[in-house]
Structure 1
Amino acid sequence: MTVTIALAGDTMLGRGVAEALAHRKPRPLFTHAVQQLVRSADLFLLNLECCVSDRGTPIDLPGKAFFFRAPPRAADMLADLGADTVFLANNHALDYGPEALMDTRVHLARAGIRAVGAGANVEEARAPLVREAGGLSIGIIAVADHPAEFAAADGRPGVAYADLWHGEVPGWLVDAIGELARTTDLTLVSVHWGPNMTARPVPHVRRAASVFADAGADLVVGHSAHVFHGFTRGVLYDLGDLIDDYAVHPALRNDLGLLWLVTLDEHGPVHTEAVPIALDCCHTRIADRAEYAWTAGRLIRACAEMGTEVKDEGDRLTVDWVRSPARTSRPGRRRRAGRTS
């Protein structure tokens, strides 16, 4: 049995994107080709880098410069695109306060989209989500390593916050990953980590990724940098962005990104694809040939630094993974009836 999961990084539907959505007959934010690509997967997961609400005011947080809020109709747009699960643990979930955060969960649920990583209290924010697809159960945990002020607490809405910058990964998170690995076929950890506009994962991100894998994560998916990073079998260090209205860095080219398709069996990833996309302001399409060449070259080089050899298929970048015997026999994993290692 296998499942294919489509993944996208930071999806910012506020500011200029919100203005585009507000039109009576808005221009599609994504081309048909993008929609076809994500709908080819069994599940489509993304990081929602905004709240979805028409309530609230910008939160008073020293040093915070950007506040992102999308209108309620954004939830329907995401459903039409094909998104069925979103990560809310990030540094923009509370941009317009707790009311807007809770509205986000309501609007997403109304549109048939499941959310993970934020909630009315710490227990709800940290609660994992389990999805069934391809005959497999996929356990999902979402956390953010910034800002600490957005952390949910008893009686206080917020995100699942984990301090990954200083010292060891919090014990509650290690335990949660291990428990999910024992009770589901596959475990996915979403992490909004590290600084913006970096070309490769910073040291604390690499350290945490290793801890997550040892705890039982089959796939770790990162976001926050707004720039895609290299990847290994079990860690997509940064997915890049899906849509936004951001200024473009001339060297890092955060307007060129990737859509990811990862096929997994009960032992983890068996195949990874990355399809180059282009982010025009408030509109996303498949990359043209010149954009594709730039993106492919950068991803191939970034992966080579990590020992990952990427094949250029002409319309996407791919890796077929050789199964690790140590991984298939990891103790404590759930075993389905009739399954062999």
Structure 2
Amino acid sequence: MDTSLTLSLVGDSFVTMRQSVYDEPSFKQMVALIRDAHAGFTNLEVTLHEYEGYPAAQSGGTYTRADPHIIEDLKWMGFDLYSTANNHSLDYSYQGLFSTIASLKEANVTYAGTGKNLAEATAPAYFATKAGRIALISATSTFADWARAGSQRRDMQGRPGVNPLRYDTEYIVTEDTIETLKEIAAKLDLPKRIQEEGSYRFLGRKFVKGEEPKIRTKPNKEDMERNLTAVNHAARQADYVVFSLHAHEGRGSNHVKPAQYIETFARSCIEEGAHVLVGHGHHALRGIEIYEGKPICYSLGNFIFQNETVLKMPADFYRDLDMDPYTGNPADAFDKRHEYYAKGQPGMPAEFKWFTTDEKYWVSVIAKVRFDGGELKTMELYPVTLGMDRPRSQRGRPMLASEEKAVEVLETLQKRSEPYGTEIEIEDSIGKITR
């Protein structure tokens, strides 16, 4: 058996419209690149159903939904492996989740990250190729807490949902700062709470005494151990293990750099037997690290981003935009959302620009990863653009970038990968990492 394996990896596919109808040369070349692999991977950032279920009180932002047949277009493009664990997985509650799973099963594709209980959501899924068996495990650290899958007991059913990777946050501050927080709590007459020595809990946050102020995050112990166990099992059952992590969180105000817990978890996955970790959720590119000879893509950004052509929205969506929740329509709502967030709203991060006003959300790369006998040989990065300046009906659809834009995207990725010691060579508008 030939043990040389090629994977085509992309980030989020927020897909609401057919892709197979287009025939631009740069689009057809891109599809050919994806297909030229033993397997293609993407994160499925939409739910698939016919509105059988109920919209959740809290969505991942946009209430995602696409016609179930849209999976056939993703298959046509060359995708075989799908992550279903993300902050949109339960936009339409449990029935929406079940309908999505049913659609994926009917399409006969390999998916991981959600299920009717925690064991199912965590379990590896497998895909056979002539170069070996691939295992896929998917988790998300960005989700509403009620979307977290729960464990099954012999006397109680489990809870449907996503495979979670929770994380703990500590704010390191000086002793003087902790004393100030105590004074504020006293002046506000806040209820007194039992405290740990060396730390102080204030308004739901844990502040820890230290010399230098910083934010420290670490993976939740239970979730980390469960997922690493799944990696360990998969590594013994398959020739290659792909771990998918959907995570928005950045390093404090620096959203380009992943939160500390993401790096900790990603490296642990490699140590436990994963061959590649594919990150997404940030909606833009983050750096690439080669750790113990295996690639960690901290975020491949958006691959398809059609979040303005969702067919219908529930009343809550319109109400949040100060629109009539009963008579509002999607066209007006998406116009209003652009205006609403483009000018900034109280409580929003000051550095955040709305998606339709920032080009970083409309460029990405296809990562072609080649292994031989389980060892990384090469990684090629093909830049794509999603057409930020195109009309809404065409925006978010990917195609290979022009030579000038490709170099610009790759130079950005070079800078974001430098802190990890990763060298990306640019040749003929393609980024190359060679072992």
Which letter maps to 1:316? I
Q: Tell whether 2:392 aligns with 1:287.
A: no
Question: Counterpart of 1:227?
Answer: 284
Partner SS, residue 258 of structure 2: coil
Partner SS, residue 179 of structure 1: helix
Pairs within 5 Å for 1:1-341: 1-13=3-15, 18=16, 20-21=17-18, 31-55=27-51, 56-61=53-58, 65-147=61-143, 148-153=145-150, 154=152, 155-166=158-169, 167-168=218-219, 169=221, 170-195=224-249, 198-233=255-290, 234=294, 235-245=296-306, 248=355, 253-280=360-387, 281-321=395-435
Q: Please provide the CA RMSD for this pair.
A: 2.4
CA contact (8 A) 1:222 1:238 kept: yes
**Alpha-carbon distance in structure 2 between the residues aligned to 1:175 and 1:144:** 16
Assess, with a 3 A threshold, how the Cα gap between structure 1 residues 186 and 164 changes in structure 2: closer, same or farther. farther
CA contact (8 A) 1:219 1:269 kept: no
In the TM superposition, what whole-angstrom CA distance separates every residue of 1:236-290 from its partner, at most 9, and x where no partner exists?
Answer: 1111110113554656611111111111123332211110000121311111123
**Alpha-carbon distance in structure 1 between the residues aligned to 2:167 and 2:239:** 26
CA-CA distance at 1:205 after TM superposition? 1.1
Please identify, of 190-199 and 264-273, the stretch whose mean Cα deviation from structure 2 is larger. Answer: 190-199
Please identify, of 118-127 and 238-247, the stretch whose mean Cα deviation from structure 2 is larger. Answer: 238-247
Assess, with a 3 A threshold, how the Cα gap between structure 1 residues 227 and 282 changes in structure 2: closer, same or farther. closer
Partner SS, residue 227 of structure 1: coil
In the TM superposition, what whole-angstrom CA distance separates every residue of 1:115-161 from its partner, at most 9, and x where no partner exists?
Answer: 11111222211110122224322222111112232111233221111
**Alpha-carbon distance in structure 2 between the residues aligned to 1:71 and 1:252:** 28
Partner SS, residue 416 of structure 2: helix
Partner SS, residue 11 of structure 1: strand
Assess, with a 3 A threshold, how the Cα gap between structure 1 residues 268 and 284 changes in structure 2: closer, same or farther. same
Please identify, of 85-94 and 183-192, the stretch whose mean Cα deviation from structure 2 is larger. Answer: 183-192
CA-CA distance at 1:109 after TM superposition? 2.3
**Alpha-carbon distance in structure 2 between the residues aligned to 1:6 and 1:309:** 20
**Alpha-carbon distance in structure 2 between the residues aligned to 1:292 and 1:253:** 13
Please identify, of 246-255 and 3-12, the stretch whose mean Cα deviation from structure 2 is larger. Answer: 246-255
Please identify, of 45-54 and 204-213, the stretch whose mean Cα deviation from structure 2 is larger. Answer: 204-213
Which letter maps to 2:248? G
Please identify, of 218-227 and 150-159, the stretch whose mean Cα deviation from structure 2 is larger. Answer: 150-159
CA contact (8 A) 2:139 2:244 kept: yes
Assess, with a 3 A threshold, how the Cα gap between structure 1 residues 221 and 315 changes in structure 2: closer, same or farther. same
Partner SS, residue 4 of structure 1: strand
**Alpha-carbon distance in structure 1 between the residues aligned to 2:228 and 2:88:** 24
**Alpha-carbon distance in structure 2 between the residues aligned to 1:200 and 1:96:** 31
Which letter maps to 1:242? F
Partner SS, residue 229 of structure 1: coil
**Alpha-carbon distance in structure 1 between the residues aligned to 2:27 and 2:103:** 24
Partner SS, residue 255 of structure 2: coil
**Alpha-carbon distance in structure 1 between the residues aligned to 2:55 and 2:12:** 20
Please identify, of 245-254 and 262-271, the stretch whose mean Cα deviation from structure 2 is larger. Answer: 245-254
Which letter maps to 2:5? V
Number of equivalences: 313
Assess, with a 3 A threshold, how the Cα gap between structure 1 residues 257 and 291 changes in structure 2: closer, same or farther. same
- Stretches of structure 2 that go unaligned for 5 or more consecutive residues are 153-157, 170-217, 308-353, 388-394
Please identify, of 232-241 and 167-176, the stretch whose mean Cα deviation from structure 2 is larger. Answer: 167-176
CA-CA distance at 1:294 after TM superposition? 1.4
Which letter maps to 1:131? F
CA contact (8 A) 1:229 1:239 kept: yes
In the TM superposition, what whole-angstrom CA distance separates every residue of 1:57-96 from its partner, at most 9, and x where no partner exists?
Answer: 32112x8532111111211111111211100011111111
**Alpha-carbon distance in structure 1 between the residues aligned to 2:302 and 2:375:** 24
Which letter maps to 1:106? A
Please identify, of 170-179 and 88-97, the stretch whose mean Cα deviation from structure 2 is larger. Answer: 170-179
CA contact (8 A) 1:57 1:97 kept: yes
Calculate the TM-score normalised by the size of structure 2: 0.67
CA-CA distance at 1:305 after TM superposition? 2.0
**Alpha-carbon distance in structure 1 between the residues aligned to 2:30 and 2:147:** 32
Calculate the TM-score normalised by the size of structure 1: 0.85
**Alpha-carbon distance in structure 2 between the residues aligned to 1:91 and 1:160:** 11
In the TM superposition, what whole-angstrom CA distance separates every residue of 1:212-249 from its partner, at most 9, and x where no partner exists?
Answer: 12222221111111111111222111111101135546
Which letter maps to 1:160? N
